[in-house]
Amino acid sequence: MATTSTSPTRRPPLRLVQISDTHLSRWDGTLRRNFHILVDFINSVLRPDLVVHTGDVILSNPDSHDDYAAAKELHRLISAPVRFIPGNHDVGEAYDRTWWATTADRLARFQDFFGATPWLEWFGDIALVGLNSQVLGSGLPAEEEQWHWLEGIASSIEGHNIVLFQHMSFWTPYSGSDGRPGCIKDIDRERILRSAGAARVLGVANGHVHRYRKTWRGESFELWAPSIAFLVDRAESVRIPAGLEQLGAVLYEAERKHLKITFQTTPGLDEVEVGEFEESLLIRKELQQAPSSFKAVV
């Protein structure tokens, strides 16, 4: 849990790139090739001062040390500093008490590889707040620690514009074909907003849904970042709120208190659907075996 300040490498506006759902693994294939294309685009065209990754860094197995190591090495190719937020494929899901649950071990592994969450990053005059949606409702010590941390920064962000980053949808509720919710609970959302105190929430940004979508809640935006890896299949797509079904990234340009947000097409990406890439068969076999080796939910 840390606070840092992004120093501009150019005159304003500062540039931030949000990427999400890279789903990287130790295996070579479409998803890794797409990531290399993204890195080249970020470094040579977008040239941001900061990159924020809103979760699902690794392919699918939250206990795969090798996938974590491979993903970390690949992200070192990005020239700008990168801030990470865990997703359900990285650390599990708080509302699932089976093998897929968020655990203390999984949270510790993510922190070891990609840094602590929550975090506060000053981006010029705007406060960026990174939250771990995967601990909400978990009952783990990390959940209460995050609430204390959020309440503790209230005085430092008072009177400032802020943007919240997390993996799950903040306002828009939905569930996929498996019935799992893709949005945080109302009680958690309201507590987050109360904890922000006198700060002005410009908006919230998340990943998870594999599509670009920007809507408004009063004066605050809710932004869903697209995946850079793959699209959801067509049958699943009709169950999810409408958005742009295209791989890419999001560019934020900040100057003083103003923030401009644009979807960024990344030329050359292979826009495959889930299950249509080489790594999908390998991970499917691995996940079928994983629950038998899982010892306990803690």
Beta bridge mates, 283: none
Q: Print the domain residue range for 134.
A: 10-293
What is the percent of the chain with per-residue pLDDT over 70, rounded to a whole number? 93
| Model confidence pLDDT, tens digit, residues 109-145 | 999 999 999 999 999 999 999 999 999 999 999 999 9
The DSSP line for 111-157 is: HHHH--SSEEEEETTEEEEE--GGGTTS-SHHHHHHHHHHHHTHHHH
Q: Is residue 298 part of a domain?
A: no
Asked whether residue 174 carries a pLDDT value surpassing 90, the answer given is: no
In a domain, 2, yes or no: no
Residue 81 C-alpha from the chain's centroid: 15
Provide mean pLDDT across the span 63-67: 96
Number of folded domains that form the chain: 1
For residue 258, the model assigns a pLDDT of: 81
Give tens-digit pLDDT for 277-291. 888 888 888 888 777
* 82 within some domain: yes
**How confident is the model at residue 285, as a pLDDT?**
80
Mean pLDDT, range 87-101, rounded to an integer: 88
Q: Before 13, cis peptide (omega within 30)?
A: yes
Residue 72 CA to residue 74 CA, distance in Å, equals 5
Inter-helix orientation angle 30-41/65-75, to 10°: 30
Q: For residues 107-135, b (16+ Cβ closer than 10 Å) or e, as one string?
A: bebbbebbeebbbbbbbbebbbbbbbbbb
Average pLDDT along the chain = 91
pLDDT surpassing 60 at residue 296? no
Query: What is the model's pTM?
Result: 0.93
Total Cβ atoms within 10 A of residue 172 = 17
CA atoms within 13 A on the CB side of 206: 24
- In this prediction, residue 96 carries a pLDDT of 73
Residue 236 is assigned to a structural domain of this protein:
yes
- The whole-number pLDDT of residue 4 equals 62
pLDDT above 90 for 2: no
Nearest to residue 132, comparing CAs of 176, 75, 92?
92
Q: Is residue 172 a part of any domain in this protein? A: yes
CATH number at residue 89: 3.60.21.10
The answer to whether residue 5 sits within a structural domain is: no
Are residues 176 and 205 in contact, defined by beta-carbon separation less than 8 angstroms?
no
For residue 4, give every residue at least 6 positions away whose Cβ sits within 8 Å of its Cβ, in sequence order, or none.
Answer: 119, 120, 121, 122
* pLDDT, tens digit, 9 for 90 and up, residues 3-51: 665 544 445 689 999 999 999 999 999 999 999 999 999 999 999 999 9
Radius of gyration from C-alpha coordinates of the chain: 18
pLDDT in tens, 233-256: 887 888 889 999 999 999 999 987
- pLDDT number for residue 95: 76
Residue 202 lies in a domain: yes
Please state at what angle helix 186-195 crosses helix 141-152, rounded to 10 degrees. Answer: 30
Q: What is the dihedral of CA 118, 161, 244, 211, to 10 degrees?
A: 0
Q: What is the pLDDT of residue 119?
A: 98
> CA-to-CA distance for 170 and 84, rounded, in angstroms?
17
Query: What pLDDT does residue 11 have?
Result: 56
Q: Which residue has the tokens 């849904």?
A: 209
> 56's torsion region: left (phi>0), alpha (psi -120 to 50) or beta?
left
Give the pLDDT score at 7: 46
Place of tokens 């691995």: 286
pLDDT of res. 294 = 55
Q: How does pLDDT run across 197-222, given as a tens digit for each residue?
A: 889 999 999 999 999 999 999 999 99
Q: Helices 141-152 & 104-114, crossing angle to 10 degrees?
A: 50
Look at residue 1 and tell me if it is in a domain: no
234 by DSSP, 3-state: which? helix
